[in-house]
Amino acid sequence: MATILDIAEKLGVSKGTVSKALNGAPDISETLRKTILETAVEMGYTRRRRQKQTAKKLCILVENLDYEEPHQFGYDIVTGFRQMAEPAGFLVEIFPITEKLQRSISYDMFMLQHDYLGAFALGFTLQDPWMTDFQTSSTPTVLYDNYIKTNPRTAYVGVDNNEGMELAVSHLKELGHKKIGYLSGALGSHIMQVRHKAFFQAMRQNGLRADSDFAGASYYISQCLEKHLPRLIQMGMTAIICSHDLLANAAMIQCQQFGIRIPDDLSIIGFDDLPICPYTYPPMTTVRQERTEIGKCGYYALDSLRNSVSIGTLLLHAKLMVRNSTGPVSEKN
């Protein structure tokens, strides 16, 4: 393993300068600090635990995800992770990440600079700059709902979306539905792609027809409601599955404004089981992600990676929460 001295010798600077750069001291130029950190990462330098510094630190990197309030999606995930990590002696820091930050520093350098031993990454999209870094990173990293191919230092944790979609479609089929549509957020995230594919697979497995125009995807919910929802209704869909609860809730409200009764005229199913779902009108049938468990499994996978047990994928069983937004297919259909 490279030492501070090795780095200093390679760059022809003093050990003190390397140490300053690694510890984020202010009296060193930004350019030099960056050169030193880059060299440290290249040479495989890993910070050794110092006597004084007792806390072992892990971080939860958060992007595109609210987690601060109990009703928000990320709250329980963060809680579950901390429930496991903190009793095991880790200090867990939550670090909101922007695209700008990702462009300013490589992932491994960021982790080294902050002295993090591993990360649980929530809410990254396929366009995020660090998604490329994760492919070759040597830092143990667990991604919620994102899969990095063949890097033994990364793991993917989430709910089994294929199973979730299968439960949703089977439930509707049992209620007599045959024409089922799918509304989705933009397909720029791994999870939206997985669910989109899972919808068509579940329809096939249930012997139901699903042409490509049975699904519609847009980035903005409003666009989804304006562009795809009326089209699906006109096509005679008696049920619509949505890629996430907020979209399902917006679709229910929109339908009711059109005078379409839920579930009498149209059944709607969401995905995630956000805390609001029992309180929507009507209470929403949705596929549940056990978020506290996802957080716990995230810690377990990260701990495994840190101990060279190379977990690649850990999926929780999905569960269908049947409430009142789904019902038997209307007789007029």
**Residue 300 binds a copy of itself, judged by CB under 8 A:** yes
**Residue 207 binds a copy of itself, judged by CB under 8 A:** no
- Euclidean distance between the first and the last CA atom of the chain, given in angstroms as a whole number: 70
**Residue 316 binds a copy of itself, judged by CB under 8 A:** yes
Peptide bond into 263 cis (omega under 30): yes
Pick one of 166, 245, 272, 273: the residue that binds a copy of itself (CB under 8 A).
166
Question: Which of these, 77, 105, 102, lies nearest to 92 by C-alpha position?
Answer: 77
**Residue 149 binds a copy of itself, judged by CB under 8 A:** yes
**Residue 152 binds a copy of itself, judged by CB under 8 A:** yes
What is the spatial distance between Cα 204 and Cα 210, in angstroms, rounded to a whole number?
7
Rounded to 10 deg, the angle between the 15-22 and 30-42 helix axes is 90
Total of residues contacting a copy of itself (CB under 8 A) = 24
What is the spatial distance between Cα 140 and Cα 119, in angstroms, rounded to a whole number?
7
Give the chain's length. Answer: 333
Tokens of 85: 């990590």
| Residues 223 and 264 sit within 8 Å (Cβ to Cβ) | no
Subset of 19-48 contacting a copy of itself (CB under 8 A): none
Residue 152 CB, shortest distance to a copy of itself, in Å, is 5
**Residue 290 binds a copy of itself, judged by CB under 8 A:** yes
**Residue 160 binds a copy of itself, judged by CB under 8 A:** yes
**Residue 110 binds a copy of itself, judged by CB under 8 A:** no
**Residue 114 binds a copy of itself, judged by CB under 8 A:** no
Residue 195 CB, shortest distance to a copy of itself, in Å, is 16
Q: Which residues 6+ apart lie within 8 Å of 100 measured at CB? A: none
**Residue 322 binds a copy of itself, judged by CB under 8 A:** no
**Residue 310 binds a copy of itself, judged by CB under 8 A:** yes
Pick one of 6, 38, 265, 293: the residue that binds a copy of itself (CB under 8 A).
293
**Residue 120 binds a copy of itself, judged by CB under 8 A:** no
Pick one of 312, 321, 324, 333: the residue that binds a copy of itself (CB under 8 A).
312
Q: Which residues of 244-276 are buried (b: 16+ CB within 10 A; e: fewer)?
A: bbbbbbbbbebbeeeebebbebbbbbbbbbbbe
What letter represents residue 227's amino acid? K
User: Nearer to a copy of itself by C-beta: 110 or 120?
Assistant: 120
Question: Which of these, 59, 83, 65, 78, lies nearest to 140 by C-alpha position?
Answer: 59
User: Nearer to a copy of itself by C-beta: 25 or 88?
Assistant: 88
Stretch that binds a copy of itself, among 149-157, 212-220, 228-236, 255-263 (CB under 8 A): 149-157
What is the spatial distance between Cα 238 and Cα 268, in angstroms, rounded to a whole number?
9
Residue 148 CA: distances (Å) to CA of 95, 126, 137, 151, 261: 21, 10, 10, 7, 42
**Residue 311 binds a copy of itself, judged by CB under 8 A:** yes
**Residue 72 binds a copy of itself, judged by CB under 8 A:** no
Pick one of 31, 127, 150, 257: the residue that binds a copy of itself (CB under 8 A).
150
Pick one of 21, 287, 297, 329: the residue that binds a copy of itself (CB under 8 A).
297
What is the spatial distance between Cα 205 and Cα 323, in angstroms, rounded to a whole number?
24
**Residue 204 binds a copy of itself, judged by CB under 8 A:** no
What is the spatial distance between Cα 274 and Cα 272, in angstroms, rounded to a whole number?
6
Residue 80 CB, shortest distance to a copy of itself, in Å, is 10
The site for a copy of itself (CB under 8 A) is made up of 149-150, 152, 160, 163, 166-167, 290, 293, 296-297, 300, 304, 309-319
